[in-house]
Amino acid sequence: MRGKISSIVVTGNGTNCEVEMAHACRLAGFDRVDIVHISELLCGKVRLDDYHFLNLPGGFLDGDDLGSAKAAANRILHARVAGREEHLFDQFSRFIGDGKLILGVCNGFQLLVKLGMLPGFGGDYTTQTVTLSYNDSGRFEDRWVWLRVNGLSPCVFTKDIERLYLPVRHGEGKFIAKDEEILERLHREDRIVVQYSHEDGLVPTMDYPANPNGAEDAIAGICSETGRIFGLMPHPEAYSHRTNHPRWTREDLPEEGMGLALFKNAAKFLRSSEF
């Protein structure tokens, strides 16, 4: 162990899963977990640099009014940090450059994608090449889904996990790549970390509702080249205890929820890293 590991959970402007995300971080063993309102970052009081794990939780940033997380991406790109010669985006870039971990869930994933941080091909973290758009059903849906985990992906969060059962709660989760080439590259580089699947099969599916939104190639989450930035639509923080499971009253389940493994992997990775 090389010192304390700390986690920041950013909130504000419509984010609403910060409490359970912070709870998951604590259960995973982070030494310090702070829920930080974005105004604290913008006024320069808190800096991302002081943390190792950046959590971007679910919610409705700015109401998703201009398309999910669009206005928030605009803010991170263009809002200045008071008292410093930098935009918030510069802190994000430094965070990535330092090899630290970022997890974006649902609205947080949408934010990473709209900023261009995911998939971030060739170290370009500013060009948007994929998107998350309206579900084919045209509606917001809350339902639990099975996810097939790609064991070959470099994602540090999903190490040693084969499959996941988690809830999706979104209206704009349909993954679309800009073109065939982008999609092909995502496959080739094993950036596709989780795909919607049927319970039994470990095969990705386009069938509704197992694939709840019509995502291309059933993509539910992707990671960066290093595997240190990971975004997914389903909510791992929503399954931290067996009583979160929709059928806990009828199935034998381990006490610990499946979603927690992602946060534990993050902690484990950071404990073995040096910053």
Partner 1 sequence: MAHRIEIGLKEGIRDALGEKIKRRIVEHLRIPVDRVRTVDVYTLDGDLDTESLDRAARGPLSDPVIQTAAIDRGLAPAGSFGWLIEVGYRPGVTDNVGKTAREAIGLLLGKRGDQAVPVYTSRQYLITAVRDRCSLDVLTRADAEKIATNLLANELIERFEIVDGKTWNPDRGIAPYVPHVTGTDSPRVGLVDLDVADAELQRISADGMLALTLQEMKIIRDYLRDPAVRSEREEVGLTGQATDAELECLAQTWSEHCKHKIFNAVITYREGMKPAEKIESLFDTYIKGSTQKIRAGLGADDWLLSVFTDNAGVVRFNDDWSLVFKVETHNSPSALDPYGGALTGIVGVNRDPFGTGRGARLIFNTDVFCFAPPDYDKPLPRRILHPRRIYEGVREGVEHGGNKSGIPTVNGCLVFDERYLGKPLVYCGTGGIMPARIGGRPSHLKEILPGDLVVMTGGRIGKDGIHGATFSSEELHEGSPVTAVQIGDPITQKKMTDFLLKARDLDLYRCITDNGAGGLSSSVGETARLSGGCEIDLEKAPLKYAGLNPWEILISESQERMTLAVDPARIDAFLALARKMDVEATVLGRYTDSGKFHVRYGERTVAFLDMDFLHAGLPPMQLEAVWTPPSHPEPDFATPGNLGDALKKMLSRLNLCSKESVVRQYDHEVQGGSVVKPLVGAANDGPGDAAVIRPLLDSFAGIIVSNGICPRYGDIDAYAMAACALDEALRNAIAVGGNLKRIAVLDNFCWCDPVQSEKTPDGEYKLAQLVRANKALYEYTTAFGVPCISGKDSMKNDYMIGDVKISIPPTLLFSALGVMEDVRKAVTMDAKGPGDLVYVLGKTRRELGGSEWFAMHGFIGNGVPQVRIGEAKALYEALSGAIDRGLVASCHDCSDGGLGAALAETAFAGAFGLEVSLRDVPAEGCEREDDLLFSESASRFVVTVAPRFRKAFEKAMKNCAAARIGVVTEQPLLRVEGFSGKMAIEEPIAGLKAAWQRTLSF
Say whether residue 60 binds partner 1 (CB under 8 A): yes
- Cβ pair 15, 63 in contact under 8 A: no
- Cβ pair 273, 56 in contact under 8 A: no
The yes-or-no answer on residue 40 being catalytic is no
For 35, phi and psi rounded to 5 degrees?
Answer: -90, 120
Residue closer to partner 1 by CB (options 63, 201) is 63
The yes-or-no answer on residue 237 being catalytic is yes
Q: Least distance to partner 1 from the beta carbon of 275, Å? A: 29
Residue closer to partner 1 by CB (options 27, 194) is 27
SS3 (DSSP) at 6:
strand
Residue closer to partner 1 by CB (options 156, 258) is 258
Residue closer to partner 1 by CB (options 24, 156) is 24
Q: Least distance to partner 1 from the beta carbon of 65, Å? A: 4
Burial annotation 197-210 (CB, 10 A radius, 16+ → b, else e): beeeeeebbeeeeb
- Cβ pair 104, 115 in contact under 8 A: no
Say whether residue 93 binds partner 1 (CB under 8 A): no
**Nearest by Cα to 173 from 209, 203, 202:** 209
**H or E segment and range at residue 221:** strand 219-223
Q: Which of residues 227-256 bind partner 1 (CB under 8 A)?
A: 235, 237-238, 240, 243-244, 246-247, 249-250
Q: Which of 2, 78, 84, 187 binds partner 1 (CB under 8 A)?
A: 78
Q: Which of residues 37-56 bind partner 1 (CB under 8 A)?
A: 37, 39, 43
Say whether residue 91 binds partner 1 (CB under 8 A): no
Q: Which of 29, 31, 47, 67 binds partner 1 (CB under 8 A)?
A: 67
How many helices (H) and strands (E) would you count in the chain?
7, 11
- Which residues are tagged catalytic? 106, 235, 237
